[in-house]
Structure 1
Amino acid sequence: MASLRIVSAVLLVLLALAEASVHRTIVTLAEVDDEANTYQSERCHRQLSQMRMDSCRQYLQPYMILRRGGGRVHSGRMQQCCQELEEVNQECRCEALRQMMQRMEGRYEGEQQMEETVRRAQRLPNMCGMEPQYCKIPQRGY
């Protein structure tokens, strides 16, 4: 009976050690992931601070397209936008679009126009044939 208690105690200690080891591994991986995200964020910030994305901004502003009044202007603007977007590292494209939308905030003529502009911005990489194909962009509160 005493040997059963000893074996049980040893098993509990081993189980506790294994659990602690797994927890430490998860925490370490999370820290490495945070460092990678920070590095990527800094790299994106440096790259995006040098870009204005004017063609994309003009392509996405529907009232500007309507004022100019033509599909050819719209199509040409999209090609220029795709060229601008291609200059951005793949990892930074969605952030570039989010920042551009933030700069455009307050220039909408209404709620519906804002929603349509955000939907277009989210699909823009796909329309340009780039990765990622879709970017999650909030509609308010950038």
Structure 2
Amino acid sequence: MYQQINANYAWQDWLNLRFGVQSCSELSITELDLTLDILLGNAKDGLNFKPDFIGRNLIKNANLDKAIRSNKPIKADAKKKITIRQFNKMLALAKELNFDDMALFRFALRQTRTIYINTEALKNINQEDATKIITGLEKIIKFKREKAR
């Protein structure tokens, strides 16, 4: 199947329709596994699969670490992306504060000056912004606990 797609110069289009990327180097390990399963006929093909932003972030962070360790020049705007631990912690803290999605998005807007329209958008933020949001949520929880005493 891949040979047919590639022979027709449609590989980038195939990836873009399914995962919203131009190259398989941008895919997470889970998405690469799914791609192989589809190409081998072991999984059903479809369009607009749900992106695995957290998995993609792991690969981007590893590549950034590798470039830093090897003293290769990196882009000035290259920042590490949020990790699965940070994302889960952010959601757990928001849940502890009884924040719905909109309350979390408004809080994140105040902390980072960036608009978030859904939870998937939060999976694509950088680690610095994630730390700001988590720290802010932790301070609110600490304040509420001290106030309750």
> Fold-level match, TM-score > 0.5?
no
Name the structure where helix makes up a greater proportion of residues: 1
TM-score by length of 1: 0.30
Rg comparison, structure with higher value: 1
